[in-house]
Structure 1
Amino acid sequence: MIPFLDLKAQYASIKDELDAAVLKVLASTQYILGEEVAAFEREFASYCGTRHAIAVNTGTSGLHLALLAAGIGPEDEVITIPFTFVATVSAICYTGARPVFVDVDPVTLTMDPAKLEAAITPRTKAIMPVHLYGQMADMAAIMEIAGRHGVPVIEDACQAHGAEYLGRRAGSIGLSGCFSFYPGKNLGACGEGGIVVTNDDQHMKTIRMLRDWGQEQRYHHTLKGFNYRMDGIQGAILRVKLRHLDGWTDARRQRARHYSALLAGPSRIRTPVEVPGRRHVYHVYAIRAHDRDGLQRALQAEGIQTGLHYPIPVHLQKAHLDLGYGAGDFPVSEAAAREVLSLPIYPEMTIRQVEQVVAAVEQEVYVG
């Protein structure tokens, strides 16, 4: 069997480092925040090229607090895309604001800037592009439009650790950028975790208070806050893993290049496009196939695990039908939801395994 992801292999490769880091936290008894989390914040901010990083308990919490710190609340509108994980939209809803969708670009499946301006209204208070699958959205175009309208941009970079746009790291271009450290991410915790990066001092200060019950100092609650703090153990684990992230990213990119070279032939398969000037970090390697479900079943029969990211766009999810959208409103997102299939990709995957997956895909495409 070829798994979609192999976290056991990753753990085995750094077991001694991780075990030592966890034991150090246990001995220190700094279980919530503490020195390991503070050190990770400094190191991750440096990695992203920002002045500040504020560690939280999940990527969703990061999105929520970044929006609140930007002043988003009831009666406001936040523009994002429907082809994303539901957490993007949920974070907007948590603030009381209304999510407003624009369709995605048919090549990158990230926010289509050509559709953005028409969605801006007097109630628009933020724009939240999603750096999907490990490739950044067209930030120059988005920032230009946002700047003309005086609207802040908050980057959903939860799938884009280390991705770049014209040499700038994900999270460093907008007012803030938010990352998830869910275990399956390119930089994953051994549990849950998230972070917000920013260059804005006041934004940083507000998020730091909001994550810890709104405290400016202990028992002095300046804001109505939340318990969104990162565990000390996760901070220590992420410090270890961050040291390996560039090597892991290079391995992902190598396997993605091998996939793309081998899959260049089948006309019924479309492979990911890495746009010039954007460094794709391949959180997932998502192909497109007209008979996506049939291909997935055929690969499963060959012992190859795959993923669906994402089979139902958010505007068609039952939980969000109250937003008033319907089928046909965002045709590019809806087509992608029917066609996208994520193939296995992870740093420990062998080139031989990549070739086995490709052989199975070609068997189904040409013969199936």
Structure 2
Amino acid sequence: MTASPVHPSDDKLGSDFAKLARSAKRAGLLQRRYTYYAVRIAINFLLLAAGAVAFVLLGDSWWQLFTAVFFAVMFTQFAFIGHDAGHRQILNSRRGNNLVGQLHSAITGISYEWWVGKHNRHHANPNHEEEDPDIEIAALAFSHEQSRTKRGLLRWVAKYQAFLFFPMLLAEAVMLRARSVQAVLRREIESVKLEAGLLTAHILGYLVAVFLVLSPAKAVVFIVVHQGLMGVYLGCSFAPNHKGMPVLAEGEKLDYLRKQVLTSRNVIGGRGVDFLLGGLNYQIEHHLFPGMPRPNLRRAQPLIREFCTRRGISYSQCGLLRSYAEVLRHLHAVGAPLRHTR
């Protein structure tokens, strides 16, 4: 099924985004996909359970490094569902989506409420120097303005950030959990007791299971491999979406449609990429309609691309490897002035 084309009458009423939204609604792209999510969630839990059984049966063996890789993939797939729940893509009610999100946060060990708050700020102002928390990273600079603020070790890291970017992703999953714990301890969220309980249950359950089945040395290696690869997977899923796209400076204003489209990049590559990146490869569509269910993004893509083309709005998309190349090229260019000064 393909999305309906833009209706001619839409060109006469409201803002550009209002016209696009009417076309998306008319095509049924905002309707919930209950069966899709029920099947997806069920498969994820079945695979996780199968991995847990394999983990116990393998016992104290170095073959467990393969299960560490498997769990890194599965935990990230659970994070993708948590992401969708945070945007209310799964169910109609806020409470229902929150329940799904909290359940998945218990698996990933990342505070659902803290992450949703941070992610919503990103969606409101993507790639904005002053207001997007996703480009407020101490060890990286995404604009020349940011690079000039770096001092000491952080300045050295920013100089060579293109070379250090992927290695630094090894710590991403651990940093997200550390920031989650920090948010609970600082009471930056409302559901402090619930989030504290979920994080505590995750950390204790994870460590007890790993050290109960594995010897201390193997347990440590298992944790390093699992957490490191999960961090890389998470980082590689989110990095192509905005990094290397235009960065908006303080005072720079765009309407909603252009702000979301011009700062986002799609990654093309078929259904394999859709699965690998959890639908985040349709970043333009997702940013325009955060509540659109994941399986509808593919259908929305031709409608939105045509709409942007008709209005002369740059619509960025490329393959997965090229997206990473563009990210690294941008980081290298931002760090160039630092490499040429003492």
TM-score, reference length from structure 1: 0.26
Task: Compare the two structures and name the one with the higher helix fraction.
Answer: 2
Greater strand content: 1
